[in-house]
A and B are shown apart, each in its own frame.
Chain A
Amino acid sequence: MTDNDTAPPSPQHDASTEPAHKSKFGQLFDIRAIIGGLFLVYGVLIGAAGVFAGPQAIHKAEGVNINLWTGIAMLLVGALFLMWLKLRPLSPQTSGGEETEPM
């Protein structure tokens, strides 16, 4: 194998020529939408388990209604992710989400 073969399949496949395709993909399933959505669903399920918690469940968790608290926290985190997505959507012109980075 020569050095030529080791190059990526073809430079044309780089993100530079695929922004439209990438952004469609990005909008289809931005990771923030998935995290946010999953956490909302989990927040509802676990929070409901907390609302209807029996004495046994609370006793097991050292007297803390852990399902309720975890459910509320997950709802909040899920809502934050969805809000972040709404406030800083992926720009359709760039292939990535530079302006959306938290750091």
Chain B
Amino acid sequence: MALTTPHACHKFRTLSEVPNKTLPGARVHDAGTGEISLGEGTTMHYLADGLRLSMNWLDYLILATYFVVVLGIALVAKRSVNSSLDFFLSGRSLPAWVTGLAFVSANLGATEILGMAANGAQYGAYTVHWYLIGAIPAMVFLGLVMMPFYYNSKVRSVPEFLLRRFSPSSHLLSSSLFAIASVLIAGVNLFALGIILRTLLGWPLPVSIVVSGVFVLAYIVIGGLTSAIYNEVLQFFVIIAALVPLTVLGLIRVGGFDGLIDKVVASEGAQFLSAWGGTGFGEQNPLGTNWLGITLGLGFAISFGYWTTNFAEVQRSLSAKNLSAARRTPLIAAFPKMFIPLIVVLPGLIALVIAPSIGGPSSAYEYNQAIPLLMRELLPNGVLGLAVTGLMASFMAGMAANVSSFNTVFTNDIWQAYVKPRMPDKHYVTVGRVITVIGVVVGMGTAFIAASFSNIMNYMQTLFSFFNVPLFATFILALFWKRMTAKAGFWGLLLGTLAPVAFYASYSTGYVPLSTDQAANMTAAIIAFIVNVVVSVPISLATRPKAASELEGLVYTRASAQDKGEHAPGDGAWYRRPALLGWGAVALAALCYVPFTL
């Protein structure tokens, strides 16, 4: 925070004044360090060249204050970390509103804010699919159906459930896949945080990545999950406090909602502000896919896969103090989730009006610069510092969520299970800390892999279709079909993971023609799901299932899996009833489609 950029930095008032020369100290890197772009057919640009913010002492003071508070939490949290359960699941002591907000902000990380604003600028109202059909039904399903399961079986991870339901082989496979996936995603987060540091503050990318990595590391190693979760809740409020003024000023600039709609329709056509227009077979729309791809690929396979098996998310619910609170966690999170587009996608559309050529070959800006662009255009010092703090905090939250779930799975499901079983509890706390260091360092490495991809959002979505969708297919079969056998679990998961990888490889090498990467991701997800089921079912029928007595609490038809758990005083209140919260969220999400459909 003490680097010398703010005072000497020029303040550019208009878009045309932006220099194209390379900033001193920010050398142009190879392999597209500045080339994240969220769209097909967009020319790549070097981020640091076109966009710099003029931070003053007040902005830095705000940023520093946040990090002092966050590290303070970590230090205090350290005093309460006594057992490995404390370190990994916060001792299961947190109330539902805290875990609910942590749940939604674990998702409000690196790609979410910049990426979805970018999608707003590129795809318009179609972006709301990621918030409504692509999130709410799966979150409600997690709360109503899956949570009793996770919680009653006292599993600390999804792979651990597979161990009890199947065998060590599928357990080790899924743990390893999960570890690989979380390190890759941590790399994307670090890369994005590095990009933002470089864009906002002028730090070179490698320095930014290392600084971010070290900070996340210090934070998690010192405090464990409790501090990570507290940070997530805190950053949620800070990022809201930053994005609301940004959106309000943006709306004033473009003449309110009416002015925004008029200008966007004038330049992009009315369909740009619809969610389902042109999604019939053979019709044209910006997403390049049809309603089937949106509902089955995004709404079912990717969404259910992500929300119900992504341990970074599930872990937030498991930290709740009882089953009732655990079930309410994703349900409470569903409500803020559906309104986040108002302060994320809307700024993307506003950026499209302020810089009409954004993302185009002649523009100095790419789509994922939508929010930084508005910050520079609209925010005076003070609120600007708040916005930078909010962005930094959201990157930290996404990264911390990844790393903490990575160390949980590695320690419990790989180390404790297969390398050094039956050690004292203290040993596993130490291993958890060591592997966190290793995870972040490897994450710094994969950040440079992520830097070689031209599109981080597509990269993320592709990773979800590789890792989360097959896991979800295996999981759902294991849950609802007691005939499913251990061999089927292993081979279904393995081939279900290899199939979308193979499909994506043939898409990216041009063997399979598809119009956009989004279409490819959604198709890969559908393929992953189908291959998994098609492999699992015949193998199950050909092999011998586990005895019913071994499945107690592990399949949905056994009564104990549906045990609603003890009720704490007050849980009977109507506003805490999971079914009401869940179906209320689904109904509200359906209503949210109305403005984009009529």
Interface positions of B from 494 to 529, Cβ below 8 Å from A: none
Partner-contacting stretch, out of B93-101, B112-120, B290-298: B93-101
A42 touches B62 (CB 8 A): yes
Cα distance A41–B386 in the bound complex, in angstroms: 12
The answer to whether B29 has its CB under 8 Å from any CB of chain A is no
B321 touches A15 (CB 8 A): yes
Interfacial chain A residues near B416, Cβ < 8 Å: 1, 5
A14 touches B92 (CB 8 A): yes
> Tally of A-B residue pairs with Cβ under 8 A?
174
User: Which residue, A3, A41, A102, A103, has most C-beta atoms of chain B within 10 A?
Assistant: A103
Cα distance A74–B328 in the bound complex, in angstroms: 28
Given A31-B233, A101-B95: A5 in contact with B382 (beta carbons within 8 A): no
A53-77 Cβ-contact flags toward B at 8 Å (1 or 0): 1001110111010110111011001
The answer to whether A83 has its CB under 8 Å from any CB of chain B is no
Interfacial chain A residues near B237, Cβ < 8 Å: 35, 39, 77
A5 touches B380 (CB 8 A): no
B217-257 Cβ-contact flags toward A at 8 Å (1 or 0): 00000000000001001100110010001001100110000
A102 touches B97 (CB 8 A): yes
Q: Which residue of A lies closest to B229 (CB)?
A: A31
The answer to whether B483 has its CB under 8 Å from any CB of chain A is no
Cα distance A18–B241 in the bound complex, in angstroms: 36
Q: Which of B66, B241, B328 contacts A103 (CB 8 A)?
A: B328
Cα distance A61–B401 in the bound complex, in angstroms: 34
A21-40 Cβ-contact flags toward B at 8 Å (1 or 0): 11011101101001101110
Interfacial chain B residues near A101, Cβ < 8 Å: 95-97, 570, 576
The answer to whether B69 has its CB under 8 Å from any CB of chain A is yes
B386 touches A42 (CB 8 A): yes
Interfacial chain B residues near A71, Cβ < 8 Å: 382
Partner-contacting stretch, out of B41-49, B78-86, B259-267: B78-86
Report the minimal beta-carbon distance from B245 to chain A, rounded to whole angstroms. Answer: 5
Cα distance A35–B100 in the bound complex, in angstroms: 16
Bin the interface of chain B by size: 35 or more
Interfacial chain B residues near A61, Cβ < 8 Å: 249, 378-380, 383
Q: Which residue of A lies closest to B83 (CB)?
A: A13
Report the minimal beta-carbon distance from A20 to chain B, rounded to whole angstroms. Answer: 12
Report the minimal beta-carbon distance from B420 to chain A, rounded to whole angstroms. Answer: 11
Given A21-B82, A69-B245, A99-B570: A45 in contact with B69 (beta carbons within 8 A): no
Given A46-B383, A50-B382, A98-B95: A29 in contact with B164 (beta carbons within 8 A): no
Cα distance A72–B168 in the bound complex, in angstroms: 57
Interfacial chain A residues near B52, Cβ < 8 Å: none
B230 touches A45 (CB 8 A): no
Given A8-B85, A29-B76, A42-B241: A96 in contact with B95 (beta carbons within 8 A): yes
Report the minimal beta-carbon distance from A99 to chain B, rounded to whole angstroms. Answer: 6
Report the minimal beta-carbon distance from B237 to chain A, rounded to whole angstroms. Answer: 6
A84-103 Cβ-contact flags toward B at 8 Å (1 or 0): 00000000000111111111
Cα distance A97–B568 in the bound complex, in angstroms: 11
Interfacial chain A residues near B569, Cβ < 8 Å: 98-99
Return the 3 tightest CB-CB contacts between A and B, nearest first: A49-B382, A57-B380, A96-B321
Q: A25-B80, A98-B325 are in contact. List 16 more A-B contacts (CB 8 A).
A: A7-B154, A8-B156, A22-B80, A34-B73, A37-B69, A45-B58, A49-B58, A60-B377, A60-B380, A62-B378, A66-B248, A67-B383, A73-B241, A95-B321, A98-B571, A101-B97
In the complex, 24 of the A-B residue pairs with CB atoms within 8 angstroms, ordered by the A residue number, are A1-B163, A1-B421, A5-B422, A9-B425, A13-B86, A22-B93, A24-B80, A28-B76, A34-B69, A37-B69, A39-B237, A45-B58, A45-B61, A45-B62, A46-B62, A46-B386, A49-B383, A61-B378, A61-B379, A66-B379, A66-B380, A97-B95, A99-B569, A103-B97
